[in-house]
Structure 1
């Protein structure tokens, strides 16, 4: 399954177009490698996603073409969530 579709179906990101944009800006890694929106994701992969000043790391548990809102969180396991300071991400 494409990474942009997985992020939308799992509701980590609300819209597929936003997921595509995030991936194409180099803010997503799959198993430590930079991912583009068309990159494939499979069960067991570790995703590292940067949302502004927050970095979330999840493990892919299930791939589904569609899911109900209440079942979406079962598609992944949250491994870590950290905040990065604004000053370390921007140059003076």
Structure 2
């Protein structure tokens, strides 16, 4: 499945166009490598996403084409979440 579609279906990022923008800006790593929106992801892959001042690392547990809101959180596991320290 494409990275941008997974992010939308799993509801990590609410809109696919936003997921595409974030990945094309180089703010998403898949297994430690910079990923574009078209990158194919599979179960077991590790995503590192930079949201402003936070970095979220998640593991893909399940791939499915569609999901209801209550099922979406079962598609991934948050491994760690950290704040970026600014040099102030």
Task: Tell me the TM-score normalized by structure 2.
Answer: 0.97
Match of 1:63 in 2: 63
Match of 1:72 in 2: 72
Unaligned runs of 5+ in 1: none
RMSD over aligned CA atoms reads 1.1
1:41-79 alpha-carbon deviations (Å, 9 max, x no partner)? 000000000001000000000001000001100000110
TM-aligned CA deviation for residue 85 of structure 1? 2.5
Match of 1:41 in 2: 41
Unaligned runs of 5+ in 2: none
Q: In structure 2, how many angstroms separate the alpha carbons of the residues matched to 1:10 and 1:86?
A: 30
Aligned residues: 88
Task: Tell me the TM-score normalized by structure 1.
Answer: 0.92
Runs of 4+ with deviation above 2 angstroms: 85-88
Match of 2:28 in 1: 28
